[in-house]
Amino acid sequence: MDNILIIAAHPDDDILGCGGFLAKYGESIKIRIIFIAEGSSCRFDGDEIDCNDVNIEILERNKYCLNALSVFGITDVKFYNLPCGRLDTIPIIDINKIIENEISECNPEIIFTHFEYDNNNDHRVVYRSTMMAARPGIFDSIKSVISYEVPSSTEWSFSNAFQPNLFEVLSQECIDKKWRALLEYKSEVLPYPHPRSYEGLVTLARFRGMQTGVEFAEAYHLIRSMK
C-alpha cells in the first residue's frame, strides 16, 4: 500500500469518508486527493453561480480543505472546482478524462471513491465516472477500488444501504485527528444528533468497530481487488 488516490466530489467528503485512514497513514504513504466539484455554489441560485461572492466562497472552502489535510500531513491535493450539485449537467466523459489523467499521472495502487447509491447525486456521478475511468485492463497499477461512506449522505439512501466489507481499525488519536480536520469546515459541523457532530463521528466509529470486534473502525466497501 504505497500509492493511494482518493477521488471526492467535494472538499470535506474526504475527511468524512476517509479521515480515519488519513489520520493513520497520511504521513507514512503517498496519498493524492482530488476534488471534482467545489462544494459551495449549490447554496446559490443558478443565475448567481458566476458572481464574485460564489468565487470567494469557493476559494475559502479550498483553503479550509488545505488546512484540514495539513492535520494529516497531506499536501498532494487538486481542485477541479466543477459546479457543486450540478455534476449531472456536465458530460460524464469530461469527468472521466479528469480522473483518467490523474490515474495516469500518479499510478495509484488503491483508489477510494464514493458509494454507488449515495443520497447525494454528485457523489453518485463521481462513483460512476471513477468506475468508468478505472475499468479493468486500462491502468495496470490499480490493485483495488474501494468505496467510502459520507455521514449525513450515504446512510440516508435507505433503500440501498451501505454494506461494508472492509474495515480499518482506528485509535482514539485517529478519531481526534479526524475531528480536528473536520473542524476546519466551520459550516459543516453541526450539533448532535447530526452525524457531522463529534458525538456522531464517534458513534459511527464505535458502531463500525463493534461490527468487527474492536473499539473504533472506519468502514468501506471493497468493489474489486487484485493480488
What are the residues whose beta carbons fall under 8 Å from the beta carbon of 37, sequence distance 6 or more?
Answer: 9, 10, 80, 81, 82, 83, 84, 85, 86, 87, 122
Phi, psi (5° rounding) for residue 7?
-110, 115
Q: Which of 8-12, 44-48, 113-117, 192-196 has the lowest mean pLDDT?
A: 44-48
Q: Structure pTM?
A: 0.95
What CATH topology corresponds to 3-225? Answer: Rossmann fold (3.40.50)
3-state helix, strand, coil in the chain (%, to 5): 45, 20, 35
Q: Is 4 helix (H, G, I), strand (E, B) or coil?
A: strand
User: What pLDDT sits at residue 74?
Assistant: 98
In the predicted structure, residue 50 carries a pLDDT above the cut 70 = no
Domain boundaries of the chain, sorted by first residue: 3-225
> What does the pLDDT average to over 60-82?
97
In the predicted structure, residue 47 carries a pLDDT above the cut 90 = no
